[in-house]
Chain A
Amino acid sequence: MTVLEVTGLRRSFAGLRAVDGVSFTVEPGEVVSIIGPNGSGKTTALNLVSGVLRPDSGQVTFQGRDVTGWRPERLAAAGLSRTFQNGRVFGNLTVAENVLIGLTPTLQAARPFSRWRNVPVLRWASLLAETAVALVDPPAVRRELADRQAKVATQLDRFGDRLTPRADLAAHTLSYANRRRTEIARALASGPALLVLDEPTAGMNPAETGEVLEQLLELKAAGQTILLVEHKIDLVMRLSDRVLVLDAGSVIAAGPPEQVRSDPRVIEAYLGKRRPAVRP
């Protein structure tokens, strides 16, 4: 089943069409990248897909369900996790706690009756039960927590010796690159059907970028479906199965990396159309 299907997505800000009729699909196990010049609508498109923004029109289908206009927390619980452009971690929580938060949708014993969370009034039964469980801390909750902590350790190990030795440090003490790694670990923790990454290597030096690329390639090899926005074309070319090029809110090219790279429309979008010199 197609993981993500986006049709005719539109969103304007103050009359400016940031995303203007974008359609694409992401199939299981695929890495799809969105590239484009500054201001072409890439991040807006991601925000629309992940529920941070609501589209003016268009449809988002996730694993066969129409999820248009769903709130981000509901999408996350349904298996769509994301990271953010400049990296958002919970600064005063430890690295391990950050990743543990990513596992929140998988908690059952600690969050009883969580099916009722979308029902008015009745959701209070679930919230109060969660409070009671938090106070009593029964064995089932402790077992669940131990299990999730083991999962956290596995996630952290994915990043070699970058995160595991720092598991108990507050996230705000980490280097920028490690904060970004923590964020990716958090997004991956719940085993999402689709991982959405917004410029995962922004602000990283070439060595760090290379390392993140290796980890993403490993994820891809393990079958993780990824939707990626990234500026670093090298990384996009090596990682992606398909590339989508946005310009002025519209898709101007789509296809395998090599084909997109030599597409004259793409070159023009980035480099501009050649015009006769008017040099004085």
Chain B
Amino acid sequence: MLDTALAGLVNGSSYALLALGLSLIFGVANVINFAHASVFAVGAMSGWWFSVDLDWPLWAVLLGVTAVTGLLGLVINVIAVTPLAKAPPIAALLSTFAVSVVVDNGAQLVFGPETRRFPALLATDNLGLGGLRFGTLDVTILVVAIGLMLVLGWFLRASRYGRAIRAVAQDRDAAAQMGIPLARVQNLAFVIASVLGGVAGVLGGMYLNNISPTVGSTVGMSAFAAATLGGLGSLPGAVAGGLLLGVVEAFGVSWWGGNARTLITFAVLLIVLWVRPSGLFGKRAPLAAEPMTGTFFGAARTVRLRPWQVAVAAVAAYVVPAVALDDYTVQIGVQVVVYAILALSLTLVSGQAGQISLGQAAPLAIGAYTSALLTTATGLDFWLSLPISGVVAAVLSVVLVSPSWRLRGHYVSIATLATGLLVAAAAVNFDWLTNGPSGVSAIPPPTLFGASVSAPLAVYFLDLTILLVVLLLVVRLRRSTLGRIWSAVREDEVAARSSGIAVADYKSLAFGIGGFVAGIGGALFAQQYGYIDPSVFGISVSLLALTIVVLGGLNSPLGAVVGAIVLVGLPEALRMLQETRMLTYGLLLLAVVLFRPQGLMGKVAR
């Protein structure tokens, strides 16, 4: 009992340090810094490098990490946050998300993807107190973490710039009238937050005993949950939320095993968002009046193709692979098509209805699992499983995300992110249903007129046909009254409601139809590989889908297809490495957000 609680506190102190930074940045810059998790990873890895490769003592390691992560924080603010201060909030959300991908995968290129042993540097089991065993390491982590919190508290309370940070967080305009330089204060807040995150990385690395470049996203997501649990913007809340989550996770893990950790984290996060979105300590209800997208692609009009151009492209899509391409290239084509279907689901949800989803892998996974389990376990025909997969994915999408309709802006995106991760965690944990981490194999290929659809070209034709149907569906919906109503919801919720539109219903409907389309995509995905497991539906899939639509043009169905060709087809054809590929996605996403928010297939209206 007690040692579990202690372990939870020690681990939770890492969350608390990270959550403090998230809340500090949220207070000063009004931005949820999705790149903050990467700072943790950079802290852990540079700490590993300083201590193992360079053999520095602990104090020097901490100093070095402070310098590295402090600089990283400054760069994040200058590149991804400050330039977008006047853009709609969605822009900073996407740009910090992109930076996190760039940093994580850049680090992976530098350090290599493998997990490394992080030397504890300190003893882990040399002390005892009334039957409770612990080590110098535990004590050091707690002391350093609490010490940093106290120093931060003192700094904010008693120093000139500390007061300035608080003043800016409470009233930006009034602070400016006192002569406080807002830009400098914001830089400072990012540096402080990132140093805390970096130190948390070193401490967390030592505690976890081993690190990898992806350690940031796991711990970072927990910190995210902790900050939301405590109440975004509240510093005492961040500390309480971090420690509480650490303890809850520790008990959960001791009862249900290590895999339960993510499930607990995201279940906690979603429940907080549903029940008490302002968190334990947050005071203000997090209701922003501005729509999340709206003028993001403000000046954009969708590029429209003439009917004959569409017809030629469709015919070419059937004919060219059949006559001119080898099996390998056709297989790439199959992937492009499946991702285009997934991306089209986002065109509806994020482009048409304006709800940015960071977890579209969730309905994809639900569809894939539904189809895979129905066809293997019950022997149901693929063709029957296809619509069922879509419906199940639609219903679950709506059920999981719709409680957050009371929230706006960033919180909806956090809810979708949590949903995506929760579904992946559920696939790992509910092994009575999903067969756990080992996944579902031997999924039979579909049959058509008695023939098995398993040759690459046959699969390609099947998927392409479904893509064209989905494309037609999306285009028709966009041009209908319903599409216009969704646009109104996207552009301005307040005005839409005052025009008699029940916005919550229409958001749910968008998620439902988007979930249906993604679920169909998931079923195709499962049949095409014959094998699925939870790791296939990680956050990188959600990211890729979002990057595809942002690159192609959030508001352009054709853009989703073009984006899929560029982001899925090209890297595959060029045989790019996985981490180079992710790095490229991140850089592209960042560049599009900064320089061409209307996307490739949007053009600037005059």
> With a CB–CB cut-off of 8 A, which chain A residues contact B501?
73, 101, 104
* Shortest CB distance B534–A (Å): 30
> With a CB–CB cut-off of 8 A, which chain B residues contact A52?
494, 498
**Is residue B482 contacting chain A, with contact meaning CB distance below 8 A?**
yes
**Is residue B499 contacting chain A, with contact meaning CB distance below 8 A?**
yes
**Is residue A111 contacting chain B, with contact meaning CB distance below 8 A?**
yes
Docked Cα-Cα span, A50 to B606, in Å, equals 35
Chain A's closest residue to B509 (CB) is A127
> With a CB–CB cut-off of 8 A, which chain B residues contact A100?
484
Docked Cα-Cα span, A133 to B473, in Å, equals 12
**Is residue A125 contacting chain B, with contact meaning CB distance below 8 A?**
no
Assess the A90–B487 pair: CB atoms within 8 A: yes
> With a CB–CB cut-off of 8 A, which chain B residues contact A88?
492, 494-495
Assess the B477–A186 pair: CB atoms within 8 A: no
Assess the B605–A170 pair: CB atoms within 8 A: yes
Q: Mark A246-268, 1 if CB is under 8 A from B, else 0.
A: 00000000000000000000000
Chain B's closest residue to A104 (CB) is B500
Assess the A73–B481 pair: CB atoms within 8 A: no
Residue with the greatest number of chain A CB neighbours at <10 A, chosen from B301, B481, B503: B481
Assess the A186–B499 pair: CB atoms within 8 A: yes
Assess the B502–A137 pair: CB atoms within 8 A: no
CB contacts under 8 Å to A, within B485-543, are 485, 487-488, 491-492, 494-503, 505-506, 508-509, 513
Chain B's closest residue to A136 (CB) is B476
**Is residue B177 contacting chain A, with contact meaning CB distance below 8 A?**
no
Docked Cα-Cα span, A72 to B493, in Å, equals 11
> With a CB–CB cut-off of 8 A, which chain A residues contact B494?
52, 72, 84, 88
Q: Mark A57-95, 1 if CB is under 8 A from B, else 0.
A: 000000000000001110011000110100011111100
Residue of A77, A117, A145, A190 touching B481 (CB-CB under 8 A):
A145
> With a CB–CB cut-off of 8 A, which chain B residues contact A134?
476-477, 480-483
* Shortest CB distance A70–B (Å): 11
**Is residue B298 contacting chain A, with contact meaning CB distance below 8 A?**
yes
> With a CB–CB cut-off of 8 A, which chain A residues contact B503?
73
* Shortest CB distance B292–A (Å): 14
**Is residue A135 contacting chain B, with contact meaning CB distance below 8 A?**
yes
> With a CB–CB cut-off of 8 A, which chain B residues contact A130?
481-482, 509
**Is residue A123 contacting chain B, with contact meaning CB distance below 8 A?**
yes
Main secondary structure of the interface of B (DSSP, over half): helix
Docked Cα-Cα span, A182 to B407, in Å, equals 29
> With a CB–CB cut-off of 8 A, which chain A residues contact B294?
91-92
**Is residue B295 contacting chain A, with contact meaning CB distance below 8 A?**
yes
Assess the A131–B513 pair: CB atoms within 8 A: yes
Bin chain B's interface residue count.
Answer: 35 or more
Assess the A123–B499 pair: CB atoms within 8 A: no
Bin chain A's interface residue count.
Answer: 35 or more
Also in contact, A101 and B509, with CB within 8 A (given A90-B495, A92-B297, A173-B606): no
> With a CB–CB cut-off of 8 A, which chain A residues contact B508?
127
Assess the A135–B477 pair: CB atoms within 8 A: yes
* Shortest CB distance A183–B (Å): 8
Assess the B491–A73 pair: CB atoms within 8 A: no
> With a CB–CB cut-off of 8 A, which chain A residues contact B605?
170, 173
> With a CB–CB cut-off of 8 A, which chain B residues contact A72?
494, 497-498
Assess the B491–A91 pair: CB atoms within 8 A: yes
> With a CB–CB cut-off of 8 A, which chain B residues contact A101?
484-485, 488, 496, 499, 501
Assess the B495–A111 pair: CB atoms within 8 A: no
> With a CB–CB cut-off of 8 A, which chain A residues contact B505?
117, 123, 127
* Shortest CB distance B578–A (Å): 37
* Shortest CB distance A159–B (Å): 18
* Shortest CB distance B251–A (Å): 36
**Is residue A4 contacting chain B, with contact meaning CB distance below 8 A?**
no
* Shortest CB distance A119–B (Å): 11
Assess the A77–B509 pair: CB atoms within 8 A: no
**Is residue A151 contacting chain B, with contact meaning CB distance below 8 A?**
no
Docked Cα-Cα span, A88 to B289, in Å, equals 12
> With a CB–CB cut-off of 8 A, which chain B residues contact A117?
502, 505
Assess the A90–B488 pair: CB atoms within 8 A: yes
> With a CB–CB cut-off of 8 A, which chain A residues contact B509?
127, 130-131
Assess the B497–A73 pair: CB atoms within 8 A: yes
* Shortest CB distance B295–A (Å): 6
**Is residue A105 contacting chain B, with contact meaning CB distance below 8 A?**
yes
> With a CB–CB cut-off of 8 A, which chain B residues contact A19?
none
> With a CB–CB cut-off of 8 A, which chain A residues contact B484?
93, 97, 100-101
Docked Cα-Cα span, A52 to B473, in Å, equals 35
Residue with the greatest number of chain B CB neighbours at <10 A, chosen from A77, A134, A173, A187: A134
A-B contact pairs, 15 of them (CB 8 A): A76-B497, A81-B498, A82-B498, A90-B488, A91-B492, A93-B488, A100-B484, A104-B501, A127-B509, A130-B509, A131-B482, A134-B477, A135-B473, A135-B477, A170-B301
Of all A-B residue pairs in the complex, the 7 with the closest CB atoms, nearest first, are: A134-B480, A105-B500, A76-B500, A90-B491, A88-B495, A134-B482, A110-B481
Other A-B pairs, 13, CB within 8 Å; known A104-B485, A135-B477 = A72-B497, A90-B488, A90-B492, A91-B294, A92-B297, A92-B298, A92-B300, A93-B488, A104-B499, A111-B481, A130-B481, A134-B483, A172-B299
